[in-house]
Amino acid sequence: MFNNLYHNKKVLVTGHTGFKGSWLTEWLLLLGAKVSGYSKDIPTQPSLFEALRLEDRIQHHIGDVRDKAHFLTALQETRPDFVFHLAAQPIVRQSYIDPSETVSTNVLGTNNVLDALRINNQPCTAVIITSDKCYHNVEWTWGYRENDRLGGNDPYSASKGAAELIIHTYFTSFFQTGSSPVRIASARAGNVIGGGDWADSRLVPDAFRAWATGEKVEIRSPKATRPWQHVLEPLSGYLRLGECLAKSKDLNGESFNFGPPSEQSHTVLELLEALEASWKLNDQIIVGENPGFHEAGLLKLNCDKALHKLKWQPALPFPETATFTATWYEQYYRQEQSANLREFTSKQITKYAEAARNRNIAWAIQ
Ligand SMILES: NC(=O)c1ccc[n+]([C@@H]2O[C@H](COP(=O)([O-])OP(=O)(O)OC[C@H]3O[C@@H](n4cnc5c(N)ncnc54)[C@H](O)[C@@H]3O)[C@@H](O)[C@H]2O)c1
């Protein structure tokens, strides 16, 4: 996988205690990387990070990306070949409750990571994770392309659009020059689902939390369409981007979308019904009142650039995406607890890689 590029490489993951960060850390360990993580806290209880006992297998730093001096010290100690920056306040609803915290974490935090890379001035390939919400969303039918206008009506989306501007600025001002040893690229993906997410105010964790205790789940925007994809899909994109960026300076400063095929947009209700069916439940969804704050209705990504330049494409159709997710939570809530979770999780990564190999996707066959 990934031409074995990550084997024995030092990789620093910010946000490694979060949902995506924990999956990425597990995958990097499977690839033979030496992983360090930098996060403010373990954001949920329970958490995938603890369920996989990742702390015992990596260099675990607790720190705030808003504290540049502290992050710089961690970077200098680690001397990573690769950085994946995922640390963020990622919840739209929370961004309405505390916009300053969202903006400081997502904008200043990203600025600090980039500035630390600049000051450190060592060879390093950095993939900075923003979001599909970085685009000025006019709710049109077409997928957004990487050169479409940035924007954001809610504080979270605006913070990710602003982070993109900062990334671009660091590229043009510092990392573009031939003498800079740092290469950067940004990665934009949408709503991901998968086992081990326990964030508040997210549909899938809310559903499994409710169903695991015999309750119904209440949803507020049943017809809202999201480009659902399994968490391993964008992660394969981030890893592929890191690989290609390390090999080719032509990708320096570029941005990439990683989303599902255009036809794989399903409503909130369709997703929940698929998960409910996988758990062999019936009639466990209640449609409640609209949440009362603005959240974009339709948002699709055009991923032609990732296909063309990285030979990346999604590997899991919608039914498998739902099954992968539901079976993980089944393992957690309905089987003998935890002991097998690490094995089960790495088997899902292997199974996902097999699905990608069967589709001849470049990262999986090289
Ligand atoms: N989950 C999704 O559906 C989704 C969709 C699009 C983009 N993203 C982006 O992917 C990234 C990871 O998202 P996630 O779902 O895993 O989030 P998460 O909430 O599960 O994890 C967030 C991580 O960031 C860390 N963090 C938060 N504030 C920090 C700070 N000030 N300093 C250091 N660490 C801090 C947390 O400790 C945690 O490790 C984020 O950048 C998010 O915006 C996520």
- Does 8 fall in a domain? yes
pLDDT of residue 338: 54
**Max Cα–Cα distance, the chain, nearest Å:** 61
- Residue 147 sits in a domain whose CATH number is 3.40.50.720
199 lines ligand 1 (CB under 6 A): yes
Judge if the beta carbon of residue 41 lies within 6 A of ligand 1: yes
Ligand 1 center to residue 15 CA distance, Å? 6
Rounded distance between C-alpha atoms, residue 328 and residue 317, angstroms = 17
Closest CA to 176 of 241, 250, 67, 261: 250
Is residue 223 domain-resident? no
Q: Is the distance from the beta carbon of residue 64 to the nearest atom of ligand 1 less than 6 Å? A: yes
Q: Please report the DSSP string for 295-306 in residue order.
A: --S---B--HHH
Q: Decide whether any atom of ligand 1 lies within 6 Å of the 24 Cβ.
A: no
DSSP-assigned beta bridge partners for residue 267: 225
User: Ligand 1 centre and the CA of 199: distance in Å?
Assistant: 10
128 domain-assigned: yes
- Asked whether residue 293 is assigned to any structural domain, the reply reads no
Residue 186 is assigned to a structural domain of this protein: yes
Ligand 1 pocket member 321 (CB < 6 A): no
Q: Is residue 270 part of a domain?
A: no
Q: Whose CA is nearest to atom 23 of ligand 1?
A: 15
Residue 273 burial (C-beta neighbours within 10 Å; 0-12, 13-18, 19+): middle
End-to-end CA distance of the chain: 6
Both structure tokens of 189 = 């993906």
Task: For ligand 1, atom 8, name the residue with the nearest CA.
Answer: 131
Which is the closest atom of ligand 1 to the Cα of 87?
24
Q: Is 155 in the pocket of ligand 1 (CB under 6 A)?
A: no
Total domains in the chain come to 1
Q: Which residue has the tokens 């990550």?
A: 6
Q: What span, in angstroms and rounded, lies between the C-alpha atoms of 38 and 14?
A: 5
Q: Is the CB of 188 under 6 A from ligand 1?
A: no
Contact indicator for 93, 20 with CB cutoff of 8 Å? no
Residues in Cβ contact with 365 at an 8 Å cutoff, skipping those fewer than 6 apart: 357
The residue whose CB lies within 8 Å of the most ligand 1 atoms, and thus the one to mutate among 48, 67, 86, is 86
Q: Which residues of 116-129 are buried (b: 16+ CB within 10 A; e: fewer)?
A: bbeebeeebbbbbb
Q: Is residue 213 part of a domain?
A: no
Q: Is 48 within the bounds of a domain? A: yes
Ligand 1 centroid – CA 85 distance (Å): 9
Please name the residue whose Cα sits nearest to atom 32 of ligand 1.
64
Does any ligand 1 atom lie closer than 6 A to the CB of residue 105? yes
**pLDDT of the residue at 281:** 87
Cβ neighbours around 300 below 10 Å, total: 23
- Supply the pTM of this predicted model: 0.96
Per-residue model confidence (pLDDT) at position 135 = 97
Domain containing 35 equals: 2-190+230-260+298-317+337-365
* pLDDT score for 339: 58
Per residue of the chain (366 residues), give pLDDT as tens: 999 999 999 999 999 999 999 999 999 999 999 999 999 999 999 999 999 999 999 999 999 999 999 999 999 999 999 999 999 999 999 999 999 999 999 999 999 999 999 999 999 999 999 999 999 998 888 999 999 999 999 999 999 999 999 999 999 999 999 899 999 999 999 989 999 999 988 899 999 999 999 999 999 888 888 889 999 999 999 999 999 999 999 999 999 999 999 888 788 999 999 999 999 888 889 988 765 555 556 788 999 999 999 999 999 999 999 999 999 999 999 876 655 899 999 999 999 999 999 999 999 998
Per DSSP bridges, beta strands 266-267 and 225-226 are antiparallel
